[in-house]
Amino acid sequence: MNILEQICADKRIEIEEHKKRQPLEGLQAQLPSIGSRPDFVAALRAAPMGLIAEVKRKSPSAGLIRDPFDPAEIAKDYEHNGAHAISCLMDYTYFGGGEEDFHCVRNAVELPMLYKEFVIDPWQIVHAKTLGASAVLLIVGALKDVELVAFIKEVQNLNLQPLVEVHDRGEMQRAIDAGADCIGINNRNLKTFVTKLDTTFELAAMAPPDCTLVSESGIKTPEDVAKLKAAGAHAILVGESLLREPSPGRAAEQLMGMI
């Protein structure tokens, strides 16, 4: 069992516990009172290169990234320094995230937020809406084709944006076939955690012309950003390299300095 398979197996157990405490029907009953949130793609496309700045405490590949960790202050720092959206980790076991972090960030900033999670159940999609997300991550490698198509539609039906994540040519084609119009190319292979920017350079050429393309992971320098833009990326998602700096927001501003 690879890392992604292990995370998803643990996630299924976790979500069943969440559903006992917060049944789907209860979440759905909240939907009429949920206000609209900023459009995720519009925010990214409004800039020459969109920046999705991530709020993340730790990861399986990097270990503990930032301590002390204040999600609200990090998010405000990002917003103040020009980030266009915030990605917030929902997984606690492997990434130290969760609903409390999402609430803290949502209450601190006005930016569109990405529900960054290993989505394997429709409950999570409704949960994202109730928390005030603008977008939901869907990882192709974690889903069957029928699930991917259904989840994209469910996300869209809630007026949220699916960010469909891929990491190889086969997954890219599956995302395209499923109708994804916002695709995240993860430069980190979630099965091996090997990271290389060449993944974006290879897969970007496959993207449909009207697709919003996001490059994720392993982005560390302004030169990296410039190369990804030249390859066709409309936005980047960055976390670890920013979170290791004293001011993640200023680090984000510097990262975008060549655009």
Tens-digit pLDDT profile for residues 13-46 = 999 999 999 999 999 999 999 988 999 999 999 9
Residue 21 has a pLDDT of: 96
- Which domains are seen in the chain, by residue range? 3-20+51-255 (3.20.20.70)
If residue 238 lies in a helix (H) or strand (E), which one and from where to where? strand 235-238
Mean pLDDT, the chain, rounded, equals 96
Residue 1 has a pLDDT of: 83
Residue pLDDT, tens place only, 214-250: 999 999 999 999 999 999 999 999 999 999 999 999 9
Residue 45 has a pLDDT of: 98
Residue 255 has a pLDDT of: 98
Residue pLDDT, tens place only, 53-68: 999 999 988 899 999 9
* Residue 187 pLDDT > 80: yes
Closest CA to 186 of 207, 166, 208, 206: 166
Q: List Cβ neighbours of 80 (8 Å cut-off, separation of 6 or more).
A: 249
